[in-house]
Chains A and B, each alone.
Chain A
């Protein structure tokens, strides 16, 4: 298996633009997680899905952030409009059975909003 695949690896965008981050989980994994990593706040859970259904989105910073999982092999995280404070590394992770079994992380998307 190729692991969790995220795209793009790097994204530089101007403030106010829409940004879409993509994730392909490991085949057969029924949980998908989106995390954000910054120097100040560390790793924060934004949202997670189970069987394509959003379970907990309490970590999503505000309405500018949205996430979807239209099928078991694809998820997106969208920021509209983007702001400089959204600059971070965004990780997608997948798991079978949830957090207790450990996650497999993607390589992340480094987002820079200028």
Chain B
């Protein structure tokens, strides 16, 4: 069975600083990986996804993530954050060929301070 671990439940950071949100996964088969963002009182929005190909994936709002198969990680990064990036970020995994089940991590709350 798959599982996702987001190592930090909360990450405080100052505006314009870089940030990395960590995600590790566990699966016995090949996987697809996703990052979603949830702003307060809203649903989740897809930030980026890794299906195949280049291990460095670029998403919306200047975010990027790198798939590292040997370390089973998919960390999310942004070189310079804005106040508007304050939100909760979820890493998710699905097994290749699986149609239905996207397994989510518990989320990381990013708080950007001025």
**Residues of A that sit less than 8 Å from B by CB:** 4, 31, 33, 42-43, 45, 48, 50, 55-56, 91, 93, 97-100, 102-108
Contact = CB atoms under 8 A, between A and B. Distances in A.
B101 A100 contact: no
A17 to B, nearest CB: 24
A5 to B, nearest CB: 11
Interface of B: 32, 34, 36, 41-46, 49, 51, 90, 94, 96, 98-107
A49 B42 CA distance: 23
B42 A99 contact: no
Given A99-B94, A100-B51, A102-B34, A31 B100 contact: yes
Contact of B100 (A56, A106, A108): A56
Given A42-B107, A43-B90, A99 B102 contact: yes
A40 to B, nearest CB: 10
SS class of chain A's interface: helix, strand, loop or mixed? strand
A45 B101 contact: yes
A107 B107 CA distance: 17
Contacts of A105: 36, 43-45
Contacts of A107: 41-43
Contacts of A103: 44, 46, 102
A105 B42 CA distance: 9
B40 to A, nearest CB: 11
A105 B104 CA distance: 14
A55 B102 CA distance: 14
